[in-house]
Structure 1
């Protein structure tokens, strides 16, 4: 059983890695599109802030995924493995084709689907699942509203400045906004994998002591889980995801640093706010 659990944990970290390849690129696309950073440095920038998010936030999203979506007596290693393989397959196919997708949708849908297949409708914690599903729809709208408000305020503040002067200033500020967005991505998406590992370990009585710092189901998530998940997503960001960056940064739209700052700040603040509420969203 121990070897089986270790294999599933490795697969979970590979899922986290594939997330970095596909989804973390979103946080850097605007920096590349506005020519604030060259591609390789932009990816390194994102990877760094993906990782250090481990040290700044509580693991509320991990708790939602690990203990809030599926009934505790339904979860077992086989269910977790099935959910991971389904989510990984979908993510890798879309990454190969250069399509930016929601890894959150893939993981949550796979976990819910595996639970339904095993135990029926009663296997799901519907109030939590309903809240998560609602914010999958609402979070882009909240981000849109936040970015629009930021644009409105910036236009009001900079209306009498020359466009070249404004963009020069925002080239520096966009480094900060890209860092905020990458931080938020590491915060929310790495914690989804933490939640999967947490659910896995809590489903096996002999493994529960490895899930938290004090060995109890309600204790603080173990640091080895936190650091390994952030390292996996950061590594995935650094070594891959070039096709997705190209799609988002060059073929979707051309941005000025002014616009890129608003988009990244609005999105990053939205994700951080929802993460503190324990809500997994699409980054």
Structure 2
């Protein structure tokens, strides 16, 4: 009986992890394709299809980030399935909120914040690997955003120099073609980095349930396939509100040289961080690069009001997701370790569907979003 209840709970937790992976996909579609769609380098549907395909492929390239998430954020010896479930709920809740507001916040930090908040509520600070979070998440995250922005500033200035030397029409066509390649690399890096985060969480759940050993880290093939499919499906859905923000509002009407510079600098950092096992926020890296490309273009091209809202969202992500997760764990613990996740999960699913339908109705009357979705070849 106990084993059967544990299996039910594991099923719910894995489902929540895949749901988070799905929200990660549509929340972060803008990272790769916002500028590509905005500059008309690719038609909208082709851009989403390309991003989804490369997200799927990227998920199989490495497991370094998955290992960091599974063992470097919380203490495996103190973790339990209800804690993991509450952490995922905090991450999903924060992702959906920022997506509704059109803010390109960090899905990665939402997940880490959720896990930390649930762990603090359940066992206290001893269950959190503070050194790992500092060394693997916070410090690399700050440096990556600054470096991405700086490289994009330089790249955009160089790109505009080519516009003068070669001719605007010829250079613009070349940069649009270049954007397809650079956006593809961002998509590949996003799959490599972000899909692994959900893999790490599922492995953590399997360890907590006794299905895997904590001493021999491995990611089962079915976990890789599930996470790759979930993030690809979410990406294909398209997070249009965030695409609109990154593609049109941060720096006004973004140009092909800007888009190429932002994507190229972001892709380099994301792929590098995946190799070293740093669970970077691809959203923050690409957003920093987009802001840098606006600075590089000059002529007061950055909308600092929007950039400021993004910055506030970044600062609130870790504590915000942690607070939601801690509250979720409180409710789950009252209802019981098995009934709690089932009941809370069902309510969260119903709320998510209602929010999605509400957003669809609102977006259907938004002329700007409809223009983006209809971007032709």
Whole-angstrom CA distance in 2 between matches of 1:144 and 1:197: 33
Q: Which residue of 2 aligns with 1:142?
A: 147
TM-score, normalised by the number of residues in structure 2: 0.69
**Segments of 4+ moved more than 4 angstroms:** 152-159
Does the CA contact (< 8 Å) of 1:30 and 1:249 recur in 2?
yes
SS state of the match for residue 25, structure 1?
Answer: helix
Q: Which residue of 2 aligns with 1:242?
A: 240
> Aligned pair 1:272/2:262, yes or no?
no
Does the CA contact (< 8 Å) of 2:182 and 2:263 recur in 1?
yes
Whole-angstrom CA distance in 1 between matches of 2:66 and 2:267: 18
Contiguous gaps of at least 5 residues in structure 2: 1-5, 283-377
Whole-angstrom CA distance in 1 between matches of 2:113 and 2:64: 19
TM-score, normalised by the number of residues in structure 1: 0.91
SS state of the match for residue 29, structure 2?
Answer: coil
| Greater Rg over alpha carbons, structure | 2
Cα RMSD, aligned residues only: 1.8
Alignment of 1:9-48 (within 5 A): 9-48=14-53
Contiguous gaps of at least 5 residues in structure 1: 209-214
Whole-angstrom CA distance in 2 between matches of 1:249 and 1:156: 22
Superposition deviation, residue 149 in structure 1 = 4.0
Does the CA contact (< 8 Å) of 2:207 and 2:214 recur in 1?
no
Does the CA contact (< 8 Å) of 2:63 and 2:196 recur in 1?
yes
Corresponding residue pairs, total: 275
Q: Which residue of 2 aligns with 1:133?
A: 138
Whole-angstrom CA distance in 1 between matches of 2:223 and 2:148: 29
1:30-80 CA-to-partner distances (Å, cap 9, x unmatched) read 00111111222211121111111133x221111011111111111110110
Superposition deviation, residue 153 in structure 1 = 5.0
> Aligned pair 1:62/2:66, yes or no?
yes
Q: Which residue of 1 aligns with 2:111?
A: 107
Alignment of 1:196-235 (within 5 A): 196-205=201-210, 207-208=211-212, 217-235=215-233
Does the CA contact (< 8 Å) of 1:24 and 1:185 recur in 2?
no
SS state of the match for residue 245, structure 1?
Answer: helix
Higher RCO by CA contacts (8 Å cutoff, separation 6 or greater): 1
Whole-angstrom CA distance in 2 between matches of 1:146 and 1:224: 38
